[in-house]
Copies of this chain bind each other. A is one copy, B any other.
């Protein structure tokens, strides 16, 4: 299989940590260019303007976008208009309306568009969903507590209106929840704790309605020091399940599940799996724009009660 030329736009922390090594390790892809105001990758042609890239490099079929959500739409729309396939870091945009517009544009142009949710590719998420499929849900409890200073140092945009705050990691939990629950849930109530000196929440609690009456709740907190917690506990009519470490570890009725998939292969990491999925979508002409995790976030802002909490300084 020939590798496909891909450009990476937005060369910041997540690009260096995840996207570049995942692309480099895959036979599917050749990293052919970058677009970024400041960042660049040694040995890769660097552009500072998406329109220049699209004009100069018609051989690049795919553009992967990993800048913050606010500027992402313009890059995505430009690439789609130029007939390129597009892959979006999560969340897929700053608004739901722009995601809907991008999907319409991609359909019009007949190209692939992929709203990635990296946590859905964590090692044990698929197995957790398979286990849940034939069971009656009693409760699902999300605890997602991490130290913002450790994971988002100096990222001011997450604290400004539109930056999502603690929903930036929280949407990862929601992307897993929406992938593993057989039935759709919707928010009944939410509380958002916003530091006095910031515009976005540092913590949130969510209470969902479930069609079978199960208790489905989530607590997100960015003030966690020491051990970090990314856990979903599920109780059913036929046993309990704990998906921990952000989806990497699965315990069913107290028994930790093996770390290998059904074929006995070692599991890939989240980002390599995203890029493998994008390669499949491009080959098949497919589209994957599941907005359900982001819809829950927008719903939380829409109906959440805001509480002001003490100032947060990095």
Contact = CB atoms under 8 A, between A and B. Distances in A.
A120 interface: no
A299 B161 CA distance: 11
Contacts of A211: 77, 101
Interface residues of A, number: 34
Given A73-B186, A298-B299, A304 B96 contact: no
Nearest to A305: B161
A298 B296 contact: no
A292 B187 CA distance: 19
Nearest to A99: B186
A297 B305 contact: no
Contacts of A189: 162
A4 to B, nearest CB: 28
Interface of A: 73, 77, 93-98, 100-101, 104, 161-162, 164, 184-187, 189, 199, 209, 211, 292, 295-299, 301-306
B97 A199 contact: no
A236 B100 CA distance: 25
Copies of this polypeptide in the complex: 2
Given A209-B73, A211-B77, A184 B302 contact: no
A97 B301 contact: no
A94 B186 CA distance: 9
Contacts of A73: 186, 209
A302 B297 contact: yes
A104 B95 CA distance: 23
Contacts of A187: 94-95, 97
- Residue of A94, A97, A297, A304 with highest tally of chain B CB at under 10 A: A97
